[in-house]
Every structure is written in C-alpha cells, then in structure tokens.
Chain A
C-alpha cells in the first residue's frame, strides 16, 4: 500500500518558470490537502479538496492553483515561480473532513526558486 505519493522529490526552478507538483493517493480518501513547510516552522495549508471537482483555498493560496479531476490525484500548480515559494511541499489525504481522522502525508517535494 503506497499511501500518498509525491513527485518530484526535488526541483530547482528559475524565477518566472512554472511547474506542477504531483500528488496521488491509493487509500480512496475523499479529502486531500497541500501544505508548505518553511524551515523551522509548522505546516501551512495552501489548498484543500473535499472530492473530485471541488477545491478551496487554505491559509496561503496566493501564487498557487490546484485541480481535482479524480479522487486519487491532486496536483499543485505554480504559474510564475517566485523566491518566496522556496519551501518543502507536502500533500496529505484523509478519510473525513469535519470528522476526527488523522491526515496521512507524502514525503514531500523540496522546491528551490533561484
């Protein structure tokens, strides 16, 4: 059981470039999330999705876009990369949204914008 899989693991971008961070889960979870983790800090929610076709903004959505065409996949898009987006990005999924269930995380994508 793979759980939550993120690709790529590492990436270096130039300012202004675009890229898509991939996330897929095989646990049939309806709820998926994207977080960023800056050095020495906790995780901040970027976007989340309650099911295929439904997405919503989290705490720090500016500069990012998401889509959810299937239950399994929840890609995160950076259109115009900026140095402030240098971070580690984590995708997570959970069984329920409002209920008390833990979120399961992937191993992250380490992104540097130069």
Chain B
C-alpha cells in the first residue's frame, strides 16, 4: 500500500467553521512533509510545509501539526471559506531520498457549505 494516506476521502464543513484534514504516513524515515491544495482543473498548489524536527507550523489561516510518535500529519484551516473548497494532498519526502521526489497521498476533498 501507499506510504502516505488519508483517513477521510471527503470532508464537508460549514463556512466559517474550522477544518481539520488528516494524513497518516508509515515511513518513519520521512523528514519533510508538505500540504498541497488542488482546485478543479489546476495543478497542486503549495500551502505549507514542515520538517520532522518540528511539531507545529503556522501560516496564514493554516496550521500543520506533526505527530511523529503515531506518524500522523494534520492540516487545520481556520474560518473555512468557499474558496478553500478543493482536494488537499499531503506528501512526504524520505530522508536522504536520492530522487528527491515526494510520495503523495490520495487526497481529501473539502467541500465548504455557505
């Protein structure tokens, strides 16, 4: 199976509520994690990243939490807006990976209800 996966394939939230999107990874050698947002017909757009030596990182309205003990990554979106509707992917990079490529999860579709 894939190293990176998501607990929920779809998530529906009310506008203004906070959203939490979860991601599980199985490779403890991963040292870098990224969240991407993909709108319909577009390529993945970088949201936020976190290194394995950190537990939390905040951006504008978004927070990423990393729990290395249980190999869990989450993306929190504050005050979710209709423009946040998209598919969200987490990706991991293995430490020392010769390819430098990212391993992507299948994605969670976030729908925001007005």
Contact = CB atoms under 8 A, between A and B. Distances in A.
A53 interface: no
Given A100-B49, A100-B93, A90 B100 contact: no
* Interface magnitude class on chain B: 20 to 34
B106 A41 contact: yes
Interface stretch (B39-47, B64-72, B73-81): B39-47
Given A42-B2, A104-B46, A105-B43, A98 B104 contact: no
A45 B32 CA distance: 17
B99 A58 contact: yes
Interface in B78-102: 89, 91, 93, 96-97, 99-102
Interface of A: 4, 6, 31, 33, 40-45, 48, 50, 56, 58-59, 90, 92, 94, 96-98, 100, 102-108
